[in-house]
Chain A
Amino acid sequence: MAGKNITGTAPHKVAKLGVARTFQNLALFNGMSVLDNILLGRHIHMHPGVFRTAFYWWAARPEEVENRKIVEEVIEFLQLESIRYELVDGLPIGLKKRVELARALVAEPQMLILDEPMAGMNQEEKGYMSRFILDARDERGVSVLLIEHHMDVIIGICDRVLALNYGEMIASGIPKDVVKDPRVIEAYIGGSHG
């Protein structure tokens, strides 16, 4: 990461280096609103403390409002305005994934890791998600590392693909070539039996 090896660094420090990620199985904070969840994404840019909390009006409000503005931009970008104050517990999975993407994006990372953002989504939600990922890359200039096995999505939005089978690299290159690789077909789509 930026010329440094970060293997073995504590997770909360990695975040400060500009890496943000989402989870395959969702890791939103239940019992909090969508807004609070996304605001947590700003954590590395904020300085919460006991005294700031005690003297909120002088010490914390400017920072809260400043960060809220950035969060609002992302909320608008991902079209989450209408569910801003809802608790995340009750949202459908497609929206939860979008909230998680928002939470990762507000951290303004240089590197965004998306672990199966399309898992459990229907075709329409996948379409939305792909659009958002592309927009995030183009407008916000983040590098996206996408972990995914929906072939249509990969061919649609990836620049470069690295195929793994049980931890071993079996192919890499531009998507069109990789999906034609016989070993990739064998591992992901299933070989032509007979």
Chain B
Amino acid sequence: MFYRLSGVYHSSLISDSRMFKVPADRNLAVFLLLIGLAAPFILPSLYLNSYILPWLIWTAAALGLNLVTGWAGQLHLGYAAVMAVGAYSAIHTVRLGVPWEIALIIGGLAASVIGSLFAFAALRVKGLYLALTTLAMQFVMDWVLTHSPTISGGSHASLQAPTLALLGQQITSDAGYYYVALGWCVLVTIFMLNLKRTGLGRALVAVREKDFAAAILGVNSFYYKILAFAASSFIAGVSGALLVATFYFLAAPEQFSVNVSIQVLAMVIVGGLGSIIGSYFGVALILLVPGLVNGLVVTASEELGMQVNVETLAHIPNAVYGALIVIILMIEPLGLGKLYGNIRDYLMTWPFDQLRK
């Protein structure tokens, strides 16, 4: 609004490589971060911990998937399995008496190792075949989890997560959980923003766009694909562990089943491949809209005095939510992130863009 690009000139290469080149964007980010920090004092803890907290953790997870699918362009249908590896290894490590900080890192590394192992096998193939191979990985992981009592505690069993403790502090309050989630989400976001402006991000995009041209420039595409899988699996592992530690409190194989993999992929695609802000929107849509629509339908039917039976009631939100995804992808195939980008770019030059035309 009011030509926010005016007066923005970068006079050094350092300032030109900032995370947010436009001051308006930077101010918005700082503002949002402040709101994020203040949220426990503003929002009731019900909203905080049943909506905002999972949103943040899933956003971190979705950003991890975005790294491999959006940046490196590798379709990954076994993401939930990688999260499961992280979650279970972190919990077992804590149960052995290791502090949570280290356990989280171990969980991430374990996920990273398993994720890249699968990538090794999977990267001999491309495109749809890769999708299928990663899907197979998901099923293998599901099977391993349900059939090995030492990991999951047996089929249909769930594993109690030990109380989260970071930096010597036991974290049991709602606000505490929320801050842990926020912290992790911010860390991952910063990593992704850095990725956008470094050689690693460029190399990954190069591999995605044209691997032969990337090779000519000296980019070893196999190495970078593995690197993308490893980094994304690390994020997945820690996110999975935090999800169990701060939200589910129990680890069960169903939490990381194939539906979840597809759901995360949907978050990334609806949000926009390769878009950071898009992942936030995508997760919000997939995670929060069903509940929202459900509430709306219930209120609406009560207001109108209609008798809607329970079964119909259960299906309407799903239909609306499915339709919403289709509509969004029809309006903007590049997802919500691109939609936001369009609006932002319009407002960036408003009202003077009209003068140029």
Contacts and interface: CB of A to CB of B under 8 A. Distances in A.
Contact of B199 (A13, A28, A60): A60
A156 to B, nearest CB: 27
Contacts of A48: 198-200, 202-203
B199 A64 contact: yes
Contacts of B16: 68
Given A27-B213, A31-B205, A64 B198 contact: yes
Nearest to A67: B199
A28 B213 CA distance: 8
B288 to A, nearest CB: 29
A41 B231 CA distance: 24
B230 interface: yes
B44 interface: no
Interface stretch (B28-36, B218-226, B305-313, B343-351): B218-226
Contacts, number: 110
A63 B191 CA distance: 17
A149 interface: no
A29 B13 CA distance: 23
A43 interface: yes
Contact of A36 (B191, B202, B210, B217): B202
A21 B200 contact: no
A50 B200 contact: yes
Q: How large is the interface on B (under 10, 10 to 19, 20 to 34, 35 or more residues)?
A: 20 to 34
Interface string B221-260: 1000001001100000000000000000000000000000
A69 interface: yes
A48 B213 CA distance: 18
B332 to A, nearest CB: 15
Given A40-B202, A43-B199, A48-B199, 13 more contacts: A11-B216, A40-B203, A40-B217, A41-B217, A43-B218, A43-B219, A48-B202, A53-B195, A54-B194, A61-B14, A61-B17, A64-B198, A103-B217
23 contacts: A11-B212, A12-B215, A13-B218, A29-B213, A31-B205, A32-B205, A39-B199, A40-B202, A40-B214, A42-B199, A48-B198, A48-B199, A48-B200, A52-B198, A52-B200, A53-B194, A53-B198, A54-B191, A56-B194, A60-B198, A63-B199, A64-B199, A103-B217
